[in-house]
Amino acid sequence: MKYIDNVRLIRGVGTRSASLFEKIGIQTVADLLTYYPRDYERFEVPVRADQLKENEIHTVAGSLVRPLSIKNTGKMQLVIGTVSAEGGGLEVIWFRMPYLRNKLRPGETYIFRGRCIQKGAHMQMEQPAYYTVEEYQKIQGRMLPKYALCKGLTNSFLIKCIRQALEETKYQKDDLPADLRERFSLAEYNFAIHQIHFPESKEKLVEARKRLVFEEFFLFILMLRRWKGKKEECKNEFSFSQNTYVEKLLASLPYELTKAQQRVYDQMKKELRSEHVMNRLIQGDVGSGKTILAVLALLMAAENGYQAAMMAPTEVLAKQHFESIENLTGNLNLPLTILLLTGSMTEKQKREAREKIASGEADIVIGTHALIQDKVEFAHLALVVTDEQHRFGVRQRETFSEKGNHMPHILVMSATPIPRTLAVILYGDLDISVVDELPAKRIPIKNCVVGTGYRDTAYRFIEKQVKSGHQAYVICPLVEESELAEGENVLDYAEVLRSKLSSDCTVGILHGRMKPAEKNEVMEQFAANQIQVLVSTTVVEVGVNVPNATVMMIENAEHFGLAQLHQLRGRVGRGDAQSYCIFLNTSGQEQSKRLETLQKSNDGFYIASEDLKLRGPGDLFGIRQSGLMEFKIGDVFTDAAILQKASEEAERLMAEDPELLKEEHHQLKKKIEEWMGEKKQLSL
């Protein structure tokens, strides 16, 4: 079996399994083997009953005091037992598993493993796995991989497929030169790929992960450097001499640009008129006024007779940008045609939009990924603006930039706070501007970090806000209940809220498994205040602007990274009313330094720098910054030290062999060319 082979060559993978794999981005054996575990289940030595901690998974050796009892509650059949163990006793409880009564015998020793919950004076273990002593001894000390799944795909099936692929795949030639691996003490690739899925020990897992993270960062940075080299050679083929539209807009605004906005605007204006094309990132905190800067650039391009395009990560946001810019140009009586192009439009609407773009009739085009489809061609594209760059990635941006007759100017906006030291590396093909000042009238969000005992108080507070005409978000880490992950889930939580809140609070749900049209409909209903409380996963992290939303409540806040929590908090505080963010710490532990940082500050860049300090390289099982860049295994905060070393090595290599012509670099060059857009050949 080869890395380029289709996954259907794996035994047990049929049409249905292949379609499920495709949903999570797996088509080839290479895709399967680089679908890394999100966590590991560790089978540790059993502990004493008096060492159990609430809300943590523990393993206990003990025997049932008496036969299991069965209790019918009407809705649920419970199987209950009392276990005698070293250091005390505990209660075990299973749901809808009556057959256990004949399987588990009193007096015999079993190993029970599950999550513990304090019930009055005693500890209860819910839905524990159980093993004989001999069974547990065989797996004790092992680490079982846990993968992100879609509905219909099980963890055990994924493990089986990956085991088979590892056993039957031929030896893979290492992309990294031997001298580089030796210099940085990096493991060999085949060892690393085996150990990342099925580690023999934590030490070997750390070694494997370090190697794979380094390679991922290293290849990414090499790719950026090569692209930047190409772009620096691109001359500016456009003339941006006219600027009356921008002057009209600035004069009509009810506020003046902040000093930071004015500084960035001056940089843009200078570059749009310079010898080479602009490639600039505007990095600014939520609410710092990046969008108005993008609008100024769009107007400059349109007034000078060129086309400009702006791509947003969601249809709702694209539509909002479109309506905002259309209203703005209409109020100023500017003779411009603003056009919207999204995936959910009918084929006829899309065809008509493409015709207007190709003819040059459309001056400013706003859209989603639909803008980079092969069928879309621009007449004279001079400026490309992408919103929230980390959602698109470098390759999509490059595809977009090739839509015109000449290389257009590129402007990227990102509200993801990343310390400048890391931003310089990660956005290596762009020059960086930072909007580090908030408008004067912005009301700071009030934050609080609380335990689970505050839930009912929080519900009453949300209800009070809704009664005063406002809205609220509630964020959960999961879509539905899962055996492989802990935390509140959207589907069950929405039902709880419907029972807790008054009938005039309409509760809606939003998650990533919904179809785009469904998500758009929900967000539009929320924006129109037809939904008052939106229960969602982090899919709202980059979403619609709802100034009326004043409460953000985040369940299991300890499950998220700091930068992501700050992004979620940025969904509120957008109107003229006081807004609030409630972080629910459900770990059962005292308030962590991470959450304290959020409580103390609303400054995204301060939070990002603190995140960097708090999450060191030892935080192997720490929380990934979901959505940040497009890395499969690396995390720019946890792995900041590796990122820095990979960057230094990439710079050294490019200085020594910029075209990667040396024999020892041929494998690297081949890999980078794959990354830069060569299509994979599926061998069936």
Determine the Cα–Cα distance for residues 496 and 467; give it in Å rounded to an integer. 19
Mean pLDDT estimate for the chain: 87
| Residue 52 is assigned to a structural domain of this protein | yes
Per-residue confidence (pLDDT) for residue 394, from 0 to 100: 63
Which of 62, 81, 61 has the alpha carbon at shortest distance from 71?
81
Query: Is the per-residue pLDDT at 648 higher than 70?
Result: yes
**Residue 58, phi then psi, degrees to nearest 5:** -130, 160
39, 132: one domain? no
pLDDT in tens, 345-365: 999 999 999 999 999 999 999
Determine the Cα–Cα distance for residues 304 and 297; give it in Å rounded to an integer. 11
Q: Which of these three, 112, 136, 160, is where a domain ends?
A: 136
Per-residue confidence (pLDDT) for residue 617, from 0 to 100: 45
Per-residue confidence (pLDDT) for residue 114, from 0 to 100: 92
User: What CATH number is attached to the domain comprising 122?
Assistant: 2.40.50.140
pLDDT in tens, 290-343: 889 999 999 999 999 999 999 988 888 888 899 999 999 999 999 999 999 998
Per-residue confidence (pLDDT) for residue 484, from 0 to 100: 47
Confidence of residue 680 (pLDDT cuts 50, 70, 90): very low
Determine the Cα–Cα distance for residues 175 and 28; give it in Å rounded to an integer. 18
Alpha carbon distances (Å) from 63 to 104, 121, 187, 217: 9, 20, 44, 50
| Residue 574 is assigned to a structural domain of this protein | yes
Average of per-residue pLDDT across 548-570:
88
Per-residue confidence (pLDDT) for residue 118, from 0 to 100: 86
pLDDT in tens, 511-555: 878 887 888 889 889 989 999 999 998 887 666 789 999 999 999
362, 504: one domain? no
Per-residue confidence (pLDDT) for residue 137, from 0 to 100: 93
Average of per-residue pLDDT across 485-499:
86
Per-residue confidence (pLDDT) for residue 596, from 0 to 100: 83
86, 156: one domain? no
Determine the Cα–Cα distance for residues 564 and 561; give it in Å rounded to an integer. 5
Alpha carbon distances (Å) from 116 to 69, 254, 679: 20, 57, 49
pLDDT in tens, 411-435: 988 877 777 778 888 877 788 888 8
pLDDT in tens, 107-164: 999 999 998 988 888 899 989 999 999 999 988 988 899 998 888 899 999 999 999 9
273, 328: one domain? yes
| Residue 651 is assigned to a structural domain of this protein | no
Beta bridge partners of 624: none
Look up residue 183 and give its amino acid: R
User: What CATH number is attached to the domain comprising 382?
Assistant: 3.40.50.300
Which of 71, 65, 66, 67 has the alpha carbon at shortest distance from 49?
65
Which of 213, 281, 227 has the alpha carbon at shortest distance from 417?
281
If phi > 0 it is left, if psi is from -120 to 50 it is alpha, else beta; for residue 469 that is left
| Residue 621 is assigned to a structural domain of this protein | yes
What interhelical angle do 155-168 and 189-197 show, nearest 10?
160
350, 425: one domain? yes
Q: Which of these three, 113, 136, 159, is where a domain ends?
A: 136
Q: Which of these three, 115, 136, 157, is where a domain ends?
A: 136
3-state secondary structure at position 260: helix
Percent of the chain whose pLDDT exceeds 90:
53
453, 324: one domain? no
16, 151: one domain? yes
604, 472: one domain? yes
Alpha carbon distances (Å) from 290 to 161, 260, 414, 539, 547: 46, 10, 8, 21, 17
Determine the Cα–Cα distance for residues 130 and 395; give it in Å rounded to an integer. 48
Residues 568 and 541: beta-carbon distance below 8 Å: yes
| Residue 225 is assigned to a structural domain of this protein | no
Which of 383, 380, 333, 384 has the alpha carbon at shortest distance from 361?
380
Lowest model confidence (mean pLDDT) among 35-49, 220-234, 324-338, 452-466: 220-234
Determine the Cα–Cα distance for residues 263 and 597; give it in Å rounded to an integer. 29
Per-residue confidence (pLDDT) for residue 170, from 0 to 100: 81
Number of domains within the chain: 4
Structure-block tokens of residue 151: 């509905």
| Residue 68 is assigned to a structural domain of this protein | yes
Confidence of residue 682 (pLDDT cuts 50, 70, 90): very low
Determine the Cα–Cα distance for residues 350 and 361; give it in Å rounded to an integer. 15
Structure-block tokens of residue 93: 């409880």
Cα-Cα-Cα-Cα dihedral of 165, 166, 169, 171, to 10°? 160
| Residue 240 is assigned to a structural domain of this protein | no
The CA R_g of the chain, rounded to the nearest whole Å, is: 27
Query: Is the per-residue pLDDT at 390 higher than 60?
Result: no
User: What CATH number is attached to the domain comprising 145?
Assistant: 1.10.150
3-state secondary structure at position 234: coil
CA 341 to chain centre: 25
Enclosing H/E stretch for 577: none
302, 385: one domain? yes
| Residue 676 is assigned to a structural domain of this protein | no
Beta bridge partners of 536: 475, 510
Lowest model confidence (mean pLDDT) among 93-97, 133-137, 286-290, 582-586: 286-290
* Burial track 352-375 (b if 16+ CB lie within 10 A, e otherwise): ebbebbeeeebbbbbbbbbbbeee
Q: Within 10 Å of residue 556's Cβ, how many Cβ atoms?
A: 21
502, 537: one domain? yes
131, 145: one domain? no
- Put simply, whether the predicted model's pTM sits higher than 0.75 gets the answer no
Average of per-residue pLDDT across 203-231:
87
List the domain range (segments joined by +) for residue 607. 446-638
294, 148: one domain? no
**Residue 614, phi then psi, degrees to nearest 5:** -80, -25
